[in-house]
Amino acid sequence: MENDQLLKKSPIQAKKYYYLVEGLEFIVNLIVTIVLIFLWSHFHWWHFLIYIFIGLLILDLLYALIGPWLKYNYTYYRVNKDYIEIKRDFFFKKQEIVKFERTQFIEQKYNPMLKKLSLVKLSLVTAGHHVIFPLMHTEDAETFESTTFDYLRGADFDV
C-alpha cells in the first residue's frame, strides 16, 4: 500500500456527521437554556444569571460552529507497517502511537446515522488502554482490521 506513509483524515462525510451531532446537542442545550430562562423570569432569580445563561449559549453556538470543523481538519491517523499513529493537531497537539502487537481486540461502534454515512468509530484496545480512531470509512476499517489480524496471526506476543 503506497499511501501508508501519509497521514489520513476522516472521510468528508465525517464533517457532516460532526455537524449533525453538534447541531443536535446545540438544540438540546438551547431548549435547556430556554427552560432555565423561563424559570428565571417566573421565579425572579438573581438578575445577573441571565447574562451567564446567554453567555453560555453563545459559547455553545460558537463551539457548535467551529468544533466540528476543527475536529475534522485537525485529526489524523496513519497506519504504518507495524504500528498506528493518531494525531490531534490543533492547539493542544497529541500524538498517540501503538504497535499492532499490543492489540487485544478492535472495537467498531456505529449508530444508524453513522451507518448511513458508511462511517465507523473504531478503537483499538490493548491490555490497559484504548486508542480511538477518528471516524473511518467502513471499508478502511475493514482493511485495517484484516491487516492487523494478518499481522497478529501466528504471532505469539506477550500482550
Partner 1 sequence: MYSPQKLHPISYVTGIIEAIKQNIVLIIIFFVFNIRDFDYTNIYAYIFPGIITIFFLFSFIAQVLKVYNTRYWIENDHFILATGIFTKERKELNIRRIQTLDTSQGIVNQIVGGVNLQIKTPSDGLELDTVSKKQSDFIQKTIKEKQSELSFEHNQTDNQADNQADIQLENQNEVSDIVTNIQSKPQSVSLYKLNFKELLLMALTSGAIGVAFATLSPIIGGLSDVIPWHWFTDEFLQISQAISVIVLLTISVIILISYIVGTLIVIIRNFNYTVIKNGNQLNIKYGLFNVKSITVPTDRVQAVVEKQSFLRKLFGYTSLHFVITSDMDGLDGDDVTLNGNVMILPFIKREKAYEIIAGLMPNMKFEDAKEGMPWSGFHRYFWQPSVVLIIIAAIINHFWQPWVFLIAGILILLLIIRSYLVIKYSGLKINEDELVVRNVTLFGFKNSYFKQDKILGMEVRRNPFLIKSDLANFNFIIAKAAGNEAIGLKFNPKQHVDMLQSWYLRGDHHQ
Residue 131: all three cell numbers together: 486508542
- Between 115 and 130, CB nearer to partner 1: 130
Vertex 16: Cα angle to 10 and 19 (nearest 5): 110
Should residue 128 be labelled a site residue for partner 1 when binding is judged by CB under 8 A?
A: yes
Which residue in 108, 126, 143, 147 binds partner 1 (CB under 8 A)? Answer: 126
- Please compute, for residue 94, the number of CA atoms within 13 A of its CA located in the half-sphere on the CB side: 8
How far, in Å, are 64, 72, 126, 155, 157 from residue 13 at the CA level? 17, 10, 28, 36, 37
Minimum distance, C-beta of residue 130 to partner 1, in the bound complex (Å) = 9
Minimum distance, C-beta of residue 13 to partner 1, in the bound complex (Å) = 28
Minimum distance, C-beta of residue 25 to partner 1, in the bound complex (Å) = 26
Count of residues that interact with partner 1, criterion CB under 8 A: 22
